Structure 1
Amino acid sequence: MRKTTSLLLLLIIGVLGYGVAAPWITVYQIRDAADQRDSQALAEQVEFDSVRQSLKDQLNAKVQRELGGDIKQNPFAALGASLANMMVDGLLDTYMTPAGIARLMRGETPAPGIPESRPEPPTGNGGEAGSDTPGTERKKLFADARMGYRSLHRFVVTVTDDRHRQADFVLSRRGLDWKLTAIVLPLD
């Protein structure tokens, strides 16, 4: 009886431990997939449609704020808003790639035409200091990030540079797993 109770208690503690640690594990898997430039592994951790929609909503809201009340009064403002909407769609098609998301995670600004290349071959010296050739050093993913739960089903990774918040990467619980479902950009 005691053995069964102890085993059950150990199982419950293990399940609870995994439940608490799962978003950190997902962040590690995202970072590893992006560092390895493994788009398939990254795609397993990211809901691209959800991320794309979150960015589209943010950018369209910014355009609406910029135009203010002119849309209802000015037909040219309405035309401009629809053109801006098409431009936002084009930009998101360009940036919503595993490479584009990886650049955002490093705190960099994605650039159009980011090549989807394979990982660089190892240098053979175990990644010690000075192993990178000049000009190829990349900032480590989530190097300056803060992570934490915002609610039971929401976990946020905030990436910053030296002075400013670059982006919030929002992970949402999907059953027992966690997925990157939104990227919140500081559009102020």
Structure 2
Amino acid sequence: MKKLLALLVLVVAIVGGWYFASPWIAMKGLADAAKAGDTAELERRVDFPAFRASVSDQISEATRLNIDQGGLLDELGSAVAKQVGWRITDRALTPSAVGKMITSGALAAGLLPERLRGQSIDWDVEREGFDHFRAVGTFEDGTAGPILLFARDGLDWKLTGFELP
């Protein structure tokens, strides 16, 4: 009976350790692969179709906000930008490009206000159930930063998208 209880405690400790540590390990693995330029590892750690869709959604949202502030010409320009945005994300978001964006901190730099570009970011993990977590960024001046979205893939995690503040 003592052996069974010890085994049960060990299993609970392993599962609990994985539950709390695995997001941080996944984020470090993604950063390490990006720094090393390991495109095969980046392909394994990023769900590129979901990530591309997320980037396109962010471009569409930024475009929509632009439309709300302008007139007909802005609306026409935004429609063109939306179509170009889809094509650019399909071609530009390669493992190598995503790795460079992660290491340079430029993942969403073009969509951020100028005052936030170049600031360091601290990350916190927010769980969304057992299958998803969000890496919530905070800039050094306390401003909310981008949020990286991860989904569980077996016992590992994949980057599936991001949200701008």
Query: Is the pair's TM-score, using the shorter chain for normalization, greater than 0.5?
Result: yes
Query: Which TM-score band (shorter chain)?
Result: 0.7 to 0.9
8 Å Cα contact 2:121/2:145 also seen in 1: no
Partner Cα distance (2:163, 2:29) in 1: 20
1:73-152 aligned within 5 A: 74=72, 79-106=76-103, 108-109=105-106, 144-152=121-129
The alpha-carbon distance between structure 1 residues 150 and 16, as it changes in their structure 2 partners (threshold 3 A), is: closer
Partner Cα distance (1:17, 1:56) in 2: 35
1:58-69 aligned within 5 A: 58-68=58-68
- What CA deviation, in whole Å up to 9, does each residue of 1:108-151 have, x standing for no partner? 437xxxxxxxxxxxxxxxxxxxxxxxxxxxx9xxx743121242
Between Structure 1 and Structure 2, the one with more helix by share is 2
- What CA deviation, in whole Å up to 9, does each residue of 1:143-164 have, x standing for no partner? 7431212422223142646776
Aligned pair count? Answer: 152
Partner Cα distance (2:139, 2:91) in 1: 23
Unpaired runs of 5+ residues, structure 1, are 111-138
Please, which moves more after superposition, 40-49 or 163-172? 163-172
Partner Cα distance (2:9, 2:51) in 1: 38
Partner Cα distance (1:99, 1:165) in 2: 27
Q: Which residue of 1 aligns with 2:8?
A: 8
* Aligned residue identity for 2:123: R
Q: Which residue of 2 aligns with 1:115?
A: none
* Aligned residue identity for 1:145: D
8 Å Cα contact 1:107/1:166 also seen in 2: no
* Aligned residue identity for 2:60: N
Q: Which residue of 2 aligns with 1:45?
A: 45
Task: Look at both structures and tell me which one has the larger radius of gyration over its CA atoms.
Answer: 1
How big is the shift at 1:19? Answer: 1.9
8 Å Cα contact 2:33/2:99 also seen in 1: no
The alpha-carbon distance between structure 1 residues 166 and 90, as it changes in their structure 2 partners (threshold 3 A), is: farther
State whether structure 2 residue 142 is matched by structure 1 residue 176: no
8 Å Cα contact 2:23/2:133 also seen in 1: no
The TM-score with structure 2 as length reference comes to 0.74
Instruction: State percent identity of aligned pairs.
Output: 28
